[in-house]
Structures are given as C-alpha cells and as structure tokens.
C-alpha cells in the first residue's frame, strides 16, 4: 500500500506571509496474482512470502511484477520513473544550497517612535562556500536586518555586499561557523536554453521551506518591467509554479545548474498563474561578478541628463514626436557632447526642478527602441564603460545616428 497526497495552495495575498493549505489524500492498493482472483488475505500473504524470501527472490519478484501496474512497489528497491529520478536527484543535490531569507525593517509607531517590524521574505542561493548568496534586490529592500535560514534550521544574520536595481540582483553574505562546509549551486548557460525545456524551481513560497516545482520554459527574451519601474530584458518565462517567497531562488535545469533567478509573476490575483519570470544566468554572472568585486555594477553610461516626454512637454515645446527621452543637459567635455549630442537651451519649470527644452530627443540605442526612461536604462543595462553605442536622436524633425563612447557610472 502506498499513500499519496496532493495539495493546493490557496493564496490570499501577494506577500509571503499567509497561505492556507488544503490537502486531499488518496490511497492506492496493489494486489498481484493471476487466473482466478484469490481471497484478498491469500493474495497479501502470497506477496509477503515472495518479497521476504531473501534478496534473490525479492529481485525476481520485482522483475516479475514490473510493468504490470503504474503503482510503485513498497520494497526498499522502490522504483521510480526516469522523470521522477531526475527530479529527486536535482532536489537532493540543490535543496541544501537554497536559503530562506527574512528581513526586519524600521518603522514608526503612533508616537512617531522608531520600531523594528517584520519585513519581507524570499529565497536565495549559496554561490560560494564562504557564505555568499545571490537573491533579488526587492527581497532585501529597505531591510535594517537580514536573516538567512539554512536547511539544517540554523539561522545567521547577513550583510549586503552589493545590489543592482537595474537587474534586481543582490549579493548578501553571512559567516558560517568554523568547520562548516556549505553546499553551493553553480551557474548554468542560459544562452543555450530552448522553449519547451524542463526546468525546476526551488524556493520558500509562503514560508514553506525548500518547495520544489517543475515546469518548462514557456518563452525566452522577454522584456518585463519590475516593481521599481525598471525593464529587465531577456527574462526567462516559465510555467513552473512561482509564488511570493520564491523570489531570489534558483531556476534549475535537469542537471541541477542554475539557469535563472526566479524574480516575479504576472497574475491578477497575486497567485501563480503559470506565468513566472526569472533573470537569466548570463545576466546574473555578469552582475554578481561586479557586485563581488566593486560592490556595484560597473555599467556604461552617457554623460547627460534626460527627461521622459509626456503630453505637457510635447504640447508646450510644440514637438512633432510624442515618445522618447529629451536630452535636457550634456556634461561639458563629456563623451556625449564629443559625439555631437545637444542639450536644451530654453529653461522651463518641470515639477520642482528646471529642465531645458530644445535639445535632442533619443529614440533608439543600437537596436532597442527608446520610448521611455525605462527603455533608456534597459538599453544600457549590459553595456560596459568604453563601449561604443549607436544613438538615434530626433533633431529639427529629422533623425540622426551618432556614435557615443560610454563613460563609467556606478549603479545606484
């Protein structure tokens, strides 16, 4: 007799705090025998006698009964399908490398006194035996204290090594006790992923430690805007169930390599709707390397100040286009000015600040169309200082393509 259970998470909010778990149990019983069906007790006795007759008889019994039913044998030599063995192997290899992350934030009470409150929770992956963990920025955002819980139940306080809002990736670190050997997850090659390929997610949805879900890659190269109004390009779309609390955890291939970092879902209810997104390992490797080395991402930038076009600016400046980013000012002697990009000359109030109208309007960077500030920063996300980009600007009702050498700018 083998007991199986199936569960459904009933999600009540988009925070990793509350979940109701409804579990329905089903019992499957297998009887073996041929010809006239014997009395149930006789069949059970016969099965027990064969299975208890020593290793050779046990092996013969399993071989004789293999393929007769999809119900598994209940012996020590329990059989699994190839797919199940794959799942089990990945979980046993990687689960210990996934940590649960909880944060505390500083708030104020009714008397405007500072108080410590519980913050969010999420997941992370140990990538270095010295205690370095990769996760999402939004998992540790505004945290005054960060705690990581390991698979053995021990908990440690962690510190932020570096974070990058453009990619929503962060590295934190805790110090394991002397003699502790941490298991790590290695990065895979996300550039070789295919739609339809099986992937596995491990994380802590709703505080349920090291939950594994499986699915396939549903799409590649998705540009997705996150909660910080940043567009993250080349996201991996998957139908593996990802819920609040999975953020920062690994998306794995069937060899147990981390091909992505689970980051967000698209859902009207806040629950998994089979549309989850992960930051590709290709991006993570580049960003994490910089965070470990510099504490920030050494990203290329143009030396200028920009403003996103809106209806008010378009009408006031009598522009002939309605989307793009307006170059308000350029840095004197900077690479943008050397490339021929022009800033504005007509001052105007814009909220609480002053902008300058009449400058170039950036509409494209390399092959990426720029219609907003999010597009602009997304186009430069993977660029390095010293790289040259082709910038299309709209000036005097005509488009011009200028080559700009990017300067160095630290991420916020």
Residues identified as active-site: 138, 168, 247
Tell me how far apart the alpha carbons of residues 396 and 361 are, in angstroms, rounded to a whole number: 10
Q: Which residues contact 262 (CB under 8 A, 6 or more apart)?
A: 123, 201, 203, 242, 246, 247, 248, 249, 250, 251, 276, 277, 278
Q: Which pairing describes strands 304-308 and 325-330: parallel, antiparallel, or unpaired?
A: antiparallel
CA 156 to chain centre: 23
* Contact criterion met (CB below 8 Å) for 6 and 24: yes
Burial class (CB in 10 A: 0-12, 13-18, 19+), 56: exposed
Helices (H) and strands (E) in the chain, counts: 8, 24
- Dihedral angle over CA of 173, 175, 176, 177, nearest 10: 180
**Gap between the Cα atoms of 171 and 232, Å rounded:** 18
Q: Is 248 left (phi over 0), alpha (psi -120 to 50) or beta?
A: left
> Residue 178 CB: number of other CB atoms within 10 A?
5
Within 8 A by CB and 6+ apart from 146, the residues are 101, 102, 103, 140, 157, 158, 159, 160, 172
- Cα 158 to its chain centre, rounded Å, is 20
Are the beta carbons of 264 and 224 closer than 8 angstroms?
yes
Within 266-345, strands assigned E span 276-280, 298-301, 304-308, 325-330
112: left (phi over 0), alpha (psi -120 to 50) or beta: left
CA separation for the pair 151, 98 (Å, rounded) = 8
């Amino acid at each position: 007799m083998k007991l199986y259970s199936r569960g459904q998470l009933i999600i009540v909010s988009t925070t990793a705090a509350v979940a109701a778990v409804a579990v329905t149990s089903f019992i499957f019983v297998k009887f073996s025998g041929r010809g006239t069906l014997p009395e149930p007790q006789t069949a059970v006795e016969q099965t027990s006698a064969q299975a208890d007759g020593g290793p050779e008889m046990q092996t013969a019994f399993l071989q004789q009964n293999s393929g007769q039913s999809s119900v598994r044998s209940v012996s020590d030599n329990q059989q699994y399908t190839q797919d199940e063995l794959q799942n089990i192997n990945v979980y046993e290899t990687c689960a210990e490398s996934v940590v649960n992350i909880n944060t505390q934030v500083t708030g104020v009470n009714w008397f405007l006194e500072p108080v410590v409150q519980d913050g969010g929770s999420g997941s992370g992956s140990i990538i270095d035996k010295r205690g370095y963990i990769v996760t999402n920025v939004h998992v540790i955002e505004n945290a005054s204290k960060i705690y990581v819980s390991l698979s053995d139940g021990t908990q440690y306080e962690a510190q932020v090594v570096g974070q990058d809002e453009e990619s929503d990736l962060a590295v934190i670190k805790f110090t394991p006790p002397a003699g502790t050997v941490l298991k790590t997850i290695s990065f895979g090659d996300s550039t070789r992923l295919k739609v339809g390929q099986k992937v596995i997610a491990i994380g802590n949805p709703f505080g349920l430690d090291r939950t594994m879900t499986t699915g396939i890659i549903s799409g590649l190269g998705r540009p997705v805007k996150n909660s910080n109004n940043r567009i993250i390009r080349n996201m991996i779309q998957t139908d593996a169930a990802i819920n609040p609390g999975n953020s920062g955890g690994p998306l794995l291939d069937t060899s147990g390599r981390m091909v992505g970092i689970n980051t967000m879902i698209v859902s009207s209810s806040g629950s998994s709707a089979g549309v989850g997104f992960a930051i590709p390992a290709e991006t993570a490797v580049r960003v994490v390397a910089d965070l470990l080395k510099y504490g920030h991402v050494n990203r290329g930038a143009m030396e200028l100040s920009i403003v996103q076009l809106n209806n008010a600016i378009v009408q006031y400046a009598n522009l002939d286009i309605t989307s793009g980013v307006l170059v308000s000012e350029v840095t004197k002697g900077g690479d943008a000015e050397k490339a021929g990009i022009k800033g504005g000359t007509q001052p105007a109030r814009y909220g609480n600040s002053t902008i300058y109208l009449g400058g170039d309007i950036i509409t494209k960077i390399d092959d990426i169309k720029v219609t907003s500030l999010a597009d602009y920063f997304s186009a430069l996300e993977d660029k390095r200082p010293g790289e040259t980009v082709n910038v299309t600007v709209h000036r005097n009702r005509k488009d011009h393509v200028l080559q700009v050498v990017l300067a160095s700018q630290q991420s916020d």
